[in-house]
């Protein structure tokens, strides 16, 4: 019997990119790469390489050259006109850049280990002025207090652009949730095998509290499947660690979700905290994984007060539905209402703040740090226990 083919939604730009070398080719290129100039990748670089190689960032086949970078920053498009909201670039320090010429092949490395070969099509300056323009356009602020901007300013002063070919996987692929690290080609097959003709993607870097469960299940009333796709790349220090979050997802899925309607995978991307621009980026990546719909909450991928409440939802309206190709489900904040006796939002409940159970992320972290269980109106007890144990273990470590 042939494998069911998932033709429900085309990858962004039309073709699912695959930049992973296999077999003899892989061995030959890896051997050749040992002689090349080695370019060490940071955490974000490792994430981006994995995403590019597996096609999660289709149609990108490498790190951006100058024209794509410029148009992405200014207009949220590639030179082909395809929508692209977040620069995916490779920055290097000046002394290393001095040893690299355009047209040269370099080895992209994790430590000393070669992961990929890149043909450097372009080498171009990434000075403070360029970075500030990127900060202003992409992050909507030039303040270093913004974690994405702080990382941007700390990057090397030269960008290398060019196509990549992967010859070995970053170590995280083998050590961090290998059984959940499905590639877009794999998830497309998994959706098809489950018979789904539509799937909604859910991005998160937080535990799933009852409000998120309500939003996911509301979406699941409309589409065939839910692809729960937590981000496990680099995040802020004060976000709850990925292993604790994954354990909490597994607990809630086991007890409260129909197994054949949900797929849990991990998204290896690093957080940029670029709010609206990152919401587009997150949606397009999930389209590549095969999702037809994507949940966009209020202040999606935001941090602090840098973005307006609805900016991450409204930005989708700047493009035609065809250009984005995945349908955003725009949700309000949800919470438990004591009078309604269920989870509601301001859209569906006539009562007021006094009846609503709200806990901010900071309050949640403080309660867990004090060793308190989160209230049942807020979090399923199974999840509350996993979080409490995880945070207590972390405190002892």
Which sequence positions are flagged as catalytic? 205-206
**Which helix (H) or strand (E) segment is 152 a member of?**
helix 147-153
The verdict on 340 binding Zn ion (CB under 5 A) reads yes
What is the widest separation between alpha-carbon atoms in the chain? 69
> To the nearest whole angstrom, how small is the minimum distance from the Cβ of residue 345 to Zn ion?
10
Q: Which is nearer to Zn ion, 283 or 349 (CB)?
A: 349
3-class SS at 211?
A: helix
Q: Which is nearer to Zn ion, 269 or 337 (CB)?
A: 337
> To the nearest whole angstrom, how small is the minimum distance from the Cβ of residue 328 to Zn ion?
26
Angstrom distance (rounded) from CA 294 to CA 321: 13
Picking from 54, 57, 285, 295, the residue whose alpha carbon sits closest to that of residue 186 is: 54
Tokens 């397009």 sit at which residue?
284
Q: Which is nearer to Zn ion, 37 or 357 (CB)?
A: 357
Site string for Zn ion, 320-339 (x = CB under 5 A): -----------------x-x
The verdict on 343 binding Zn ion (CB under 5 A) reads no
Whole-angstrom CA distances from 376 to 233, 301, 364, 382 are 30, 26, 13, 10
Window of 112-120, 199-207, 233-241, 350-358 that interacts with Zn ion by CB under 5 A: 350-358
Angstrom distance (rounded) from CA 360 to CA 216: 20
Count of residues in contact with Zn ion, rule CB under 5 A: 5
Angstrom distance (rounded) from CA 200 to CA 220: 7
Q: 66 near 124, Cβ under 8 Å?
A: yes
The verdict on 383 binding Zn ion (CB under 5 A) reads no
Window of 277-285, 312-320, 347-355, 372-380 that interacts with Zn ion by CB under 5 A: 347-355
The verdict on 349 binding Zn ion (CB under 5 A) reads yes
> To the nearest whole angstrom, how small is the minimum distance from the Cβ of residue 330 to Zn ion?
21
The residues, any chain, with a CB within 8 Å of residue 53's CB and separated by 6 or more, are 18, 19, 20, 116, 164, 166
The verdict on 56 binding Zn ion (CB under 5 A) reads no
335 phi and psi angles, rounded to 5 deg: -165, 170
Q: Which is nearer to Zn ion, 339 or 393 (CB)?
A: 339
> To the nearest whole angstrom, how small is the minimum distance from the Cβ of residue 148 to Zn ion?
36
Q: Which is nearer to Zn ion, 109 or 211 (CB)?
A: 211
> To the nearest whole angstrom, how small is the minimum distance from the Cβ of residue 78 to Zn ion?
46
3-class SS at 260?
A: helix
The verdict on 8 binding Zn ion (CB under 5 A) reads no
Q: Which of 193, 351, 393, 395 binds Zn ion (CB under 5 A)?
A: 351
**Which helix (H) or strand (E) segment is 130 a member of?**
helix 128-134
> To the nearest whole angstrom, how small is the minimum distance from the Cβ of residue 340 to Zn ion?
3
The verdict on 90 binding Zn ion (CB under 5 A) reads no
Residues engaged in binding Zn ion (CB under 5 A): 337, 339-340, 349, 351
């Amino acid at each position: 019997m042939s494998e069911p083919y998932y033709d429900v939604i085309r990858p962004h730009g039309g073709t699912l990119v695959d930049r992973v070398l296999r077999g003899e080719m892989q061995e030959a290129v890896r051997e050749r790469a040992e002689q090349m100039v080695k370019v060490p990748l940071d955490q974000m670089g490792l994430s981006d390489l994995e995403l590019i190689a597996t096609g999660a960032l289709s149609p990108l086949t490498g790190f951006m050259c100058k024209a794509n970078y410029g148009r992405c920053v200014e207009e949220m498009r590639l030179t082909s006109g395809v929508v692209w909201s977040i620069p995916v670039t490779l920055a290097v320090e000046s002394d290393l850049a001095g040893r690299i010429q355009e047209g040269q092949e370099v080895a992209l490395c994790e430590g000393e280990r070669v992961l990929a070969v890149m043909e450097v099509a372009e080498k171009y300056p990434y000075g403070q002025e360029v970075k500030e323009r990127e900060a202003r356009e992409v992050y909507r602020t030039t303040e270093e207090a913004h974690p994405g901007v702080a990382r941007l300013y700390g990057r090397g002063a030269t960008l290398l652009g060019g196509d990549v070919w992967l010859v070995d996987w970053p170590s995280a692929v083998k050590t961090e949730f290998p059984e959940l690290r499905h590639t877009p080609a794999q998830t497309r097959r998994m959706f098809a095998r489950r018979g789904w003709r539509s799937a909604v993607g859910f991005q998160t870097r937080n535990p799933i509290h009852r409000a998120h469960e309500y939003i996911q299940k509301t979406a699941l009333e409309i589409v065939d499947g839910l692809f729960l796709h937590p981000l496990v790349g680099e995040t802020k220090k004060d976000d709850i660690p990925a292993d604790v979050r994954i354990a909490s997802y597994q607990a809630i899925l086991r007890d409260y979700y129909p197994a054949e309607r949900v797929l849990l995978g991990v998204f290896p991307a690093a957080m940029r905290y670029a709010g609206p621009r990152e919401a587009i980026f997150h949606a397009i990546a999930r389209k590549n994984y095969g999702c037809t719909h994507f949940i966009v909450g209020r202040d999606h991928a935001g941090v602090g007060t840098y973005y307006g409440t609805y900016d991450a939802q409204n930005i989708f309206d700047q493009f035609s539905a065809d250009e984005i190709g995945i349908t955003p489900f725009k949700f309000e904040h949800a919470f438990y209402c004591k009078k309604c006796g269920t989870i509601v939002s301001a859209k569906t409940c006539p009562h007021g703040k006094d009846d609503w159970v709200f806990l901010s992320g900071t309050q949640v972290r403080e309660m867990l740090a004090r060793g308190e269980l989160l209230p049942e109106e807020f979090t399923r007890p199974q999840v509350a226990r996993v979080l409490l144990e995880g945070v207590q273990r972390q405190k002892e470590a």
